[in-house]
């Protein structure tokens, strides 16, 4: 257990639907990052939050949004889902400029 909790582990949904992925960072970590990893692909940075505020944006589609709540957990909302959105979505957390601790990911399958 890395200390970063992601739910659900698996999600199967239809095209056009909306889903919410949840992440609880490691205790004490203020930064939360979301990454997308498609089959045999690298880690595509989506967005970062720090202590409730958006800190950096990567290649995040307009159909995707995220937020970090006062208790520091974060949610990634994916809407109008397309087949190409099928991927592993990782959440990571960190304190300062050290290494990231990744959660075990949510595998999203859009059918």
Partner 1 sequence: GQQVMQIPQYQHVQEGEDFTTYCNSSTTLSNIQWYKQRPGGHPVFLIQLVKSGEVKKQKRLTFQFGEAKKNSSLHITATQTTDVGTYFCAGRSNDYKLSFGAGTTVTVRA
Contact footprint for partner 1 (CB under 8 A):
2, 35, 40-43, 45, 56, 90, 92, 97-105
Question: Cβ closer to partner 1: 20 or 101?
Answer: 101
Question: Cβ closer to partner 1: 79 or 101?
Answer: 101
Question: Cβ closer to partner 1: 64 or 90?
Answer: 90
The structure tokens listed for 72 are 């520091």
Q: Give the residue among 66, 69, 54, 62 at the shortest CA–CA distance from 90.
A: 66
Question: Cβ closer to partner 1: 34 or 100?
Answer: 100
In angstroms, give the least distance from the CB of 22 to partner 1. Answer: 16
In angstroms, give the least distance from the CB of 2 to partner 1. Answer: 7
Distance CA 17, CA 58 (A): 23
The structure tokens listed for 95 are 């304190």
In angstroms, give the least distance from the CB of 15 to partner 1. Answer: 26
In angstroms, give the least distance from the CB of 95 to partner 1. Answer: 12
Q: Give the residue among 104, 81, 89, 77 at the shortest CA–CA distance from 15.
A: 81
CA angle, corner 72, sides to 69 and 77, nearest 5?
50
């Amino acid at each position: 257990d890395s200390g970063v909790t992601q739910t659900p582990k698996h999600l199967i949904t239809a095209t056009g639907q909306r889903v919410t992925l949840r992440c609880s960072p490691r205790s004490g970590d203020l930064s939360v990052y979301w990454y997308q990893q498609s089959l045999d692909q690298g880690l595509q940075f989506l967005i970062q939050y720090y202590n409730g505020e958006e800190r950096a944006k990567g290649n995040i589609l307009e159909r995707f949004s995220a937020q970090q709540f006062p208790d520091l957990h974060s949610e990634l909302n994916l809407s109008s889902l397309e087949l190409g959105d099928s991927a592993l979505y990782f959440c990571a957390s960190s304190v300062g400029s050290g290494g990231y601790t990744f959660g075990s990911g949510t595998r999203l399958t859009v059918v």
